[in-house]
């Protein structure tokens, strides 16, 4: 199959999905892009993998804008064999006519001028995604080359750019009775630290967009021509089912709420499951609002008020001596909140928190009205939900008593620190590190080998509780978890937890390179993800990377971190000694097998160690991984292991 054949999408509709004027007069020019290449992180976040993939999202967002306007039902994303990416849609096609003020083609302005785009003109898009409307021009500026083909008005228009500079005028290269835009770009390797796109990252975002836009079909194709198709007629209801596929759901199908108020569209799907965690994913114009905002606040208030009122009215709380709170309705809740707002106002550290005050009342109104109607029509469903909420309320009260008890015992809030903690001497958190170490043997080596001025050691005894399967009060009764909370100094719980109180700039998980060590590491990561996720989001959690082997030949000794490195070192030693080397290989199954000097030089010395930063690029994907590996269902865990076994590089059974 030829590359041209691979990239040929199905024919687009010859008649627009919706009729609207869209030409050069809709393109408003704001500013140039002179410093994009000099300061790329200002526009895409960073110049590593995250920023690289953001380039794809910026181009796709333009296609999504066409979808939101009712003009597009198809997006094709191809990861090409040469490292470039192609994005094709069936939208109206970027305007190509002459812009009256700038006397240039609208296509050239869109591709070369920051802020030149239809989303700044209310007549072109009533609702648009993306935060700043700078996408195509920034992608172009950060690409070694970029080519755009626009099919509209019976012609195919073309322009090529190199590092943002047009190499020709906009010209007609053919005729077509289709419409749409095809953009192909090659990221500039003089700017990005990596230019290798990962299909799994692209797939996650495209799947998410397909859930949020049920009329949309998205195809992702890899460099070998293999395709994945995403199209969900059930929309966000299927989103909830996908998220909860590894949990036991309490309801036969998610509750779906939809309403329009004052040009704002509200769409919500929710489900309760047997877990003890809450998973709420919120979106504004397809933008993932990680920090929540007024739409989430409106949902929570309405959910609590409506369900509480129903329970009171139908005498479902007669055996409960506690008043229900908003927190009680969170346990086991999975929800997707998607709102379409004409002029969203974003705030927060990452500009992903909705600030529109009117949106809160709109969401509250829709949820109050539609959830009340659902409740009256589905009494059995509501009874199951209220029983779940009552259990959460009793757990909350038990957790409160456990916290009070531990406080009295100076476990959570006191000036005292755990006796097993070997603390560091300096007090500046930004320069302090806490190593959470498996077992007393490794803890002993770490304590002796560390730099006492800035490295603290906290050895754990055995495995901590699997918080995926335990309610809050059970977790707070676990001695190892209480010790970790006290050592960190952050306090605990939504109202009391504070990243600013963290006593260490780095939290480093250091476990053995065997099955038990991997299990302990996963248990710790589950705890941090479920109850202290902001530490991960702040870039405070790391995984130590101790070597697996010590390779010796005479006085020459070198460490190896995997089998390939071990073999390479061995071969090198044989060559140096002309095949007469007597090579001895020591396999480290536990950190305790290293003496303090070895542990320091390989794993703890900042000048030579390798730390793996724990991050969460996709909360939905991370939630699924933890629920799969640590939840109650066995079959999804078996399938996950079978699917990913070929990627395992270190396995000790």
Question: What's the Rg (C-alpha) of the chain?
Answer: 28
Q: Please pick, among 73, 108, 433, 512, the residue that the annotation labels catalytic.
A: 512
Backbone angles phi, psi at 585, to 5 degrees: -115, 125
Q: What is the DSSP letter of 600?
A: I
End-to-end Cα spacing for the chain: 44
Beta strands in 428-510 (DSSP E): 433-438, 455-460, 506-510
Q: Smallest Cα–Cα separation from 336: which of 290, 268, 287, 271? A: 268
Do residues 365 and 299 make contact, with C-beta atoms less than 8 angstroms apart?
Answer: no
Q: Are 125 and 67 in contact (CB under 8 A)?
A: no
Which of 153, 274, 516, 556 is catalytic? The answer is 516
As given in the structure block, the two tokens for residue 245 are: 């596929």
Q: 286, 310 in Cβ contact below 8 A?
A: no
- 97 in active site: no
Mark out the alpha helices in 151-225 (DSSP H runs). 199-212
Residues contacting residue 266 through CB under 8 Å, at least 6 positions apart: 257, 258, 259, 260, 295, 339, 362, 363, 366, 367
Is 438 in the active site? Answer: yes
Where does 550-633 have alpha helices with state H? 563-576, 596-599, 619-630
Task: State the catalytic residue, choosing from 65, 73, 328, 438.
Answer: 438
Beta bridge partners of 172: 157
Instruction: Look up residue 534 and give its two tokens.
Output: 């902001």
Strands (E) across 389-505 are located at 433-438, 455-460
Spell out a b/e string for 315-326, using b for 16 or more CB atoms within 10 Å of the CB, else e: ebbeebeeebee
Element (H, E) at 57: helix 49-68
From the list 203, 279, 195, 296, the residue with the least C-alpha distance to 244 is 279
Buried b (16+ CB within 10 A) or exposed e, 50-88: ebbbbbbbbbbbbbbbbbbbebbbbbbbbbbeeebbbbb
What pairing do the DSSP bridges indicate for beta strands 264-272 and 255-261? antiparallel
Catalytic residue among 228, 479, 514, 593: 514
Distance CA 335, CA 313 (A): 25
Residues 351-361: b if buried by 16+ CB within 10 A, e if exposed: ebbbebeebbb
Report strand pairing: 346-347 vs 353-354. antiparallel
* 512 in active site: yes
Lookup: tokens for 18: 């919706």
Catalytic residue ranges: 438, 512, 514, 516
């Amino acid at each position: 199959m030829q590359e041209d054949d691979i990239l040929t999408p199905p024919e687009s509709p010859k008649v627009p999905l919706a009729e609207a004027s869209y030409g050069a007069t809709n393109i408003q020019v704001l500013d140039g892009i002179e410093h994009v290449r000099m300061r790329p992180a200002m526009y895409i976040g960073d110049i590593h993998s995250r920023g690289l993939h953001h380039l794809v999202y910026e181009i796709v967002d333009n296609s999504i804008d066409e979808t939101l306007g009712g003009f597009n039902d198809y997006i094709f994303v191809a990861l090409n064999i040469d490292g470039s990416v192609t994005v094709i849609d069936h939208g109206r096609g970027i305007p190509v006519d002459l812009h009256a003020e700038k006397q240039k083609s609208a296509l050239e302005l869109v591709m070369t001028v920051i802020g030149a785009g239809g989303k700044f003109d209310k007549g072109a898009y009533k609702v648009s995604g993306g935060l700043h409307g700078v996408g195509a021009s920034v992608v172009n500026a950060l690409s070694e080359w970029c080519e755009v083909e626009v099919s509209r008005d019976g012609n195919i228009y073309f322009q090529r750019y190199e590092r943002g500079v047009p190499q020709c005028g906009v010209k007609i290269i053919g005729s077509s009775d289709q419409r749409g835009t095809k953009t192909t770009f090659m990221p500039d390797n003089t700017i990005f630290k990596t230019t290798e796109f990962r299909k799994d990252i692209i797939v996650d975002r495209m799947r998410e967009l397909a859930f949020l836009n049920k009329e949309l079909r998205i195809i992702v194709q890899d460099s070998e021509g293999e395709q994945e198709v995403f199209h969900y007629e059930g929309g966000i209801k299927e989103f909830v089912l996908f998220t909860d596929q590894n949990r036991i759901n309490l309801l036969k199908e998610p509750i779906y709420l939809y309403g329009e108020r004052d040009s704002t569209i509200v769409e919500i799907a929710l489900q309760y499951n047997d877990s003890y965690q809450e998973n709420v994913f919120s979106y504004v114009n397809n933008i993932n609002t990680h920090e929540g905002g007024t739409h989430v606040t409106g949902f929570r208030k309405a959910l609590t008020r409506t369900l509480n009122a129903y329970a009171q009215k139908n005498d479902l709380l007669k055996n409960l001596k506690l008043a229900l709170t908003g927190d009680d309705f969170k346990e086991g809740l999975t929800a997707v909140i998607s709102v379409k707002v004409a002029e969203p106002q974003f705030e927060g550290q990452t500009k992903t928190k909705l600030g529109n005050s009117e949106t809160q009342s709109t969401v509250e109104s829709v949820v109050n009205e539609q959830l009340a109607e659902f409740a009256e029509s589905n009494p059995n469903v509501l009874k199951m939900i209220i029983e779940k909420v009552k259990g959460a309320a009793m757990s909350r009260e038990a957790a409160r008593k456990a916290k009070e008890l531990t406080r009295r015992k100076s476990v959570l809030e006191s000036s005292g620190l755990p006796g097993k903690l070997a603390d560091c001497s300096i007090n500046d958190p930004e320069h302090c590190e806490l190593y959470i170490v498996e077992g007393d043997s490794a803890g002993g080596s770490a304590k002796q080998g560390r730099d006492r001025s800035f490295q603290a050691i906290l050895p754990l005894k055995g495995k901590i509780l699997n918080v995926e399967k335990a309610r809050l009060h059970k977790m707070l009764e676990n001695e190892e978890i209480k010790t970790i909370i006290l050592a960190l100094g952050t306090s605990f719980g939504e109202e009391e937890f504070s990243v600013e109180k963290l006593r260490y700039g780095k939290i480093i998980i250091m476990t053995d390179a065997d099955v038990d060590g991997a299990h302990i590491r996963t248990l710790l990561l589950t705890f941090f993800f479920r109850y202290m996720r902001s530490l991960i989001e702040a870039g405070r959690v790391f995984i130590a990377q101790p070597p697996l082997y010590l390779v010796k030949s005479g006085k020459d000794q070198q460490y190896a971190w995997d089998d390939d490195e071990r073999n390479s070192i061995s071969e090198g030693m044989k060559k140096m000694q002309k095949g007469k080397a007597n090579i001895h290989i020591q396999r480290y199954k536990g950190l305790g097998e290293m003496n303090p000097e070895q542990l320091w030089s390989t794993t703890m010395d900042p000048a030579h160690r390798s730390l793996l930063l724990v991050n969460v690029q996709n909360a939905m994907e991370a939630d699924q991984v933890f629920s799969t590996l640590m939840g109650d269902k066995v079959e999804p865990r078996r399938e996950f292991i079978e699917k990913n076994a070929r990627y395992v590089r270190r396995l000790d059974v």
